Amino acid sequence: MADISDVYVKDLTAETLDSLNGSEGVVGFDTVEGKQIPVNVLSRYAVEKQAITVNGSNKTVQAGLNDLYGITDDLAASIAAAREDISWLEIANDMRTGKTGKYNIGDTITEPWTDTTLDRAYDNPWRVNHFGSVETQGGVTLPGMWLQNVYAHPFGVQFSHQRAFYKCPSGLAAGTYYVTLGASWGSKDAVADTSWNFTLTKAVPAGGRLAGFYQMPDALSSTWQVHVFAADGITELEVANISSGASGTNLGTLALNTRNGNLNSMQETGYGWNNWAHSALRQYLNSDKGIGEWWEPQDEWDIRPDQLATKPGYLTGLPDGMKAMLVPTKTVTYSNTVQDGGGAEITYDKVSLISLQQAYIVPQIQGEGEAHDYWKQALGTETPFDTGSNHVSDALKHYAVENHASAQTVRLRSANRGTATNAWYMNSGGYVNYYYFASYAYRFAPLVFIG
């Protein structure tokens, strides 16, 4: 019997068949091209060929080889991962040696993404978006290509959970406290100069934080609560109801979109933070850690995303071969102007989301990457495509990876610079806007660089 590693090696010449311990008689027949295929290269056909007969039996290439060599499901999975190592290495080498002519804008490379919690693999084509060079950490410049998922991820992840309104670096004693709202927001009970109190029955430990007033501009005060978290931003210690009135110890005044001492802004408190560099979504996309492990607080107001309790990091769903070829690229994203200063923030991301500028959409500010050729071609305009529901294109619609039929709203990484809480998105209706808050768990179409 041939050694498994020999059977699955790519690009062996016919002369090497003797090394396969008598298996040179094992051939497959490609009914599309009408020719015999030696066993040692059969595995190459598994990705792109389906109509193949192995030793006179109609089977997929993978099933035929598994039967011939007694390969178990576990061993087949290991072999498939090893084969993908070779495939993605070949693509990366093509980029580094200038063989980009083998790939065209709009071409797709199908690589399954697996939701390990459901043990479900999704057909997940990556589209060639753009060729160019990127800077890596340490200042090295690499040529390569940008790939973006054609379909929307099978579930959403919060850009940011609603954040704490009060941080407790030294802890906080049990007792009654109140805060005052510094501005009116929305049409419900978030009214300027009103005060709201709550009673804690337990002391808050050092580094703990108080979250609450969720959906502040849109929810009645009867639904508001205070959620007490430990310093990890994950462990919830107590939930207290909120009442109207200035009772107990004054913690200060919450401003609409600026921070003040231990107090956060009303916007972050109600609907989260639109800062890509510190976002929960960025942590999810760039992590190969498990459930409950891929997120950590970025500051003393940060609260864990809801999905941390049920989903592992995004990279756990990619085969090792592809993960090994992902280049952590210098990613520039501008912060909002109302709270974060509006400057460029730099991250190094293996997986990111496309920006307004990269998607050939009119940006609020230049500098978040060059426009990708795919989006230029797809949108078909001489100048960047405009934002808002009056500017619709079918090219901007993304469909669900699980059925390829249901249109989905997908996140971009660009912040709406005029608020602390809104991030840009491509709407399921085919236009680009910024009205959806960071705490909403919308889907996304990941973006990577191979080089």
438 and 331 housed in the same domain: yes
DSSP string, 232-265: TS--EEEEEE-EES--SEEEEEE-SSS-BTTB--
176 and 323 housed in the same domain: no
Contact call for residues 443 and 426 (beta carbons, < 8 A): no
DSSP 361: B
Under 8 Å CB-to-CB from 72, ≥6 apart: which residues?
none
Give domain status of residue 184, yes or no: yes
Final residue belonging to a domain, choices 38, 71, 104: 71
154 and 171 housed in the same domain: no
Give domain status of residue 201, yes or no: yes
Final residue belonging to a domain, choices 227, 247, 271: 271
309 and 380 housed in the same domain: yes
Final residue belonging to a domain, choices 271, 286, 321: 271
450 and 316 housed in the same domain: yes
| C-alpha span between 447 and 59 (Å, rounded) | 35
| C-alpha span between 430 and 432 (Å, rounded) | 7
148 and 60 housed in the same domain: no
| C-alpha span between 339 and 421 (Å, rounded) | 10
Residue position matching structure tokens 């660089």: 449
The predicted structure's pLDDT at residue 326: 94
The 10 Å CB-count burial string (b at 16+, else e) for 196-213 is bbbebeebbbebbbbbbb
Say how many domains are in the chain. Answer: 3
Give domain status of residue 303, yes or no: yes
The predicted structure's pLDDT at residue 83: 45
367 and 290 housed in the same domain: yes
Local confidence pLDDT in tens for the 451 residues of the chain: 233 333 333 333 344 333 333 333 444 444 444 444 444 444 444 434 444 455 555 555 455 545 544 445 554 454 455 444 558 989 999 998 899 999 999 999 999 999 999 999 999 999 999 999 999 988 889 999 999 999 999 999 999 999 999 999 999 999 999 999 999 999 999 999 999 999 999 999 999 999 999 999 999 999 999 999 999 999 999 999 999 999 999 999 999 999 999 999 999 999 999 999 999 999 999 999 999 999 999 999 999 999 999 999 999 999 999 999 999 999 999 999 999 999 999 999 999 999 999 999 999 999 999 999 999 999 999 999 999 999 999 999 999 999 999 999 999 999 999 999 999 999 999 999 999 999 999 999 999 999 9
211 and 325 housed in the same domain: no
Residue position matching structure tokens 């670096």: 169
92 and 235 housed in the same domain: no
The predicted structure's pLDDT at residue 86: 53
Under 8 Å CB-to-CB from 102, ≥6 apart: which residues?
94
103 and 31 housed in the same domain: no
Give domain status of residue 28, yes or no: yes
∠ CA 188-414-388, rounded to 5° = 65
Give domain status of residue 76, yes or no: no
| C-alpha span between 149 and 411 (Å, rounded) | 13
The domain in which residue 38 lies consists of 4-71
361 and 247 housed in the same domain: no
171 and 132 housed in the same domain: no
Give domain status of residue 113, yes or no: yes
